[in-house]
């Protein structure tokens, strides 16, 4: 079984600054996906960024980037130029890839980190 | 674009009552799943389905039933609600690209 750990229950950052959210995971699998999801006060789950384990290059999406360290089983999220709209709960999540590349839609989530961006 | 639609968004039950959370998706996704979200525990998988007629248990299946008679629908049934089932419930659908598409969530309170 996989576990995902987010050791920072809460973080805060000033607007326009950079913040990094930590995530570690434990798995014996070699093929998997890793995700960061954002949950604003509206409760909607929004995909922020995705990383395939076989890719060495770190994923980036505009102001969001990850530092994926496969050997260390670490997957941190960096938010640059933080904006007030980034205030949300952020979840790190793991998805195993089964034979043939199927995933079955099964995610294992971390506990979440509440990020507050201050003006 | 409807995506994943969950109903109801809010529900209050008394202990022992039964109810069904409805979930429908219009993206022709093979996989559908139900998660519950509790403070400090993230989201945990209750049940999932890999296609019509095929379901399986997730991490926390006790007290919940599911069925999938069509590709589009994946209802979650609570047969005898308990206070421990007070939670926010999310339905999700996906294909093999890995990304899950979530509904807006349903807040359930069991008194």
For chain B, give the number of residues. Answer: 111
> pLDDT of B79-111, one tens digit each?
999 999 999 999 999 987 778 999 999 999 999
Is it the case that residue B1 has pLDDT exceeding 70? no
Give the number of other Cβ atoms within 10 Å of residue A88's Cβ: 21
What's the pLDDT score for residue B17? 97
Give the number of other Cβ atoms within 10 Å of residue A65's Cβ: 17
First CA to last CA across chain B, in angstroms?
35
Give the Cα separation of B42 and A88 in Å (integer).
Answer: 14
The fraction of chain B above a pLDDT of 90, given in percent, is 91
Cβ of residue B96 closer than 8 Å to a chain A Cβ: yes
Mutate to test the interface with B, among A45, A54, A109, A113 (most CBs of B within 10 A): A45
| Identity of the residue in A91, A97, A101 whose CB atom sits nearest the CB atom of B42 | A91
What's the pLDDT score for residue A43? 92
Q: How would you write the pLDDT of chain A (119 residues) with one tens digit per residue? A: 889 999 999 999 999 999 999 999 999 998 999 999 999 999 999 999 999 998 889 999 999 999 999 999 999 999 999 999 999 999 999 999 887 777 788 999 999 999 999 99
pLDDT band at B2 (very low <50, low <70, confident <90, very high): confident
CA-nearest of B34, B23, B40 to B74 is B23
Give the Cα separation of A12 and B47 in Å (integer).
Answer: 35
Whether residue B34 is preceded by a cis peptide bond, meaning omega within 30 degrees of 0, is no
What's the pLDDT score for residue A20? 98
> pLDDT of B41-59, one tens digit each?
899 999 999 999 999 999 9
Tokens of A35: 């995700």
Residue B66: half-sphere exposure toward Cβ, Cα within 13 Å: 30
Query: In the A/B pair of chains, how many CB contacts fall below 8 A?
Result: 67
What's the pLDDT score for residue B33? 97
**Closest residue of A to B40, CA-based?**
A111
Q: Using the structure block, give the residue that is written with the tokens 């095929």.
A: B54
Three-state secondary-structure class, residue A27 = coil
Tokens of A42: 């509206």
Question: What is the helix, strand, coil percentage profile of chain B, to 5?
Answer: 5, 55, 45
């Amino acid at each position: 079984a996989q576990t995902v750990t987010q050791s920072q229950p809460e973080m805060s950052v000033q607007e326009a600054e950079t913040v990094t959210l930590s995530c570690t995971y434990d798995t014996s699998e070699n093929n998997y996906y890793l995700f960061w999801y954002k949950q604003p006060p509206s409760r909607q789950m929004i995909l922020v960024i995705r990383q395939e384990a076989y890719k060495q290059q770190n994923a980036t999406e505009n102001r969001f980037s990850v530092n994926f360290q496969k050997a260390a089983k670490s997957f941190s999220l960096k938010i640059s130029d933080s904006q007030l709209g980034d205030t949300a709960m952020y979840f790190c999540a793991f998805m195993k890839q089964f034979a043939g590349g199927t995933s079955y839609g099964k995610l294992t989530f971390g506990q979440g980190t509440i990020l507050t961006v201050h003006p | 674009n409807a995506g994943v639609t969950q109903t109801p968004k809010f529900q209050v039950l008394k202990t022992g009552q039964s109810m069904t959370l409805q979930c429908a998706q219009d993206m022709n996704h093979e996989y559908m799943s139900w998660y519950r979200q509790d403070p400090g525990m993230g989201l945990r998988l209750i049940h999932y389905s890999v296609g019509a007629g095929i379901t399986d248990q997730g991490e926390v299946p006790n007290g919940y039933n599911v069925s999938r008679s069509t590709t589009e629908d994946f209802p979650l049934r609570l047969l005898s609600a308990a206070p421990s089932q007070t939670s926010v419930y999310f339905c999700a659908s996906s294909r093999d690209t890995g990304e899950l598409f979530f509904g807006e969530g349903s807040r359930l309170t069991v008194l």
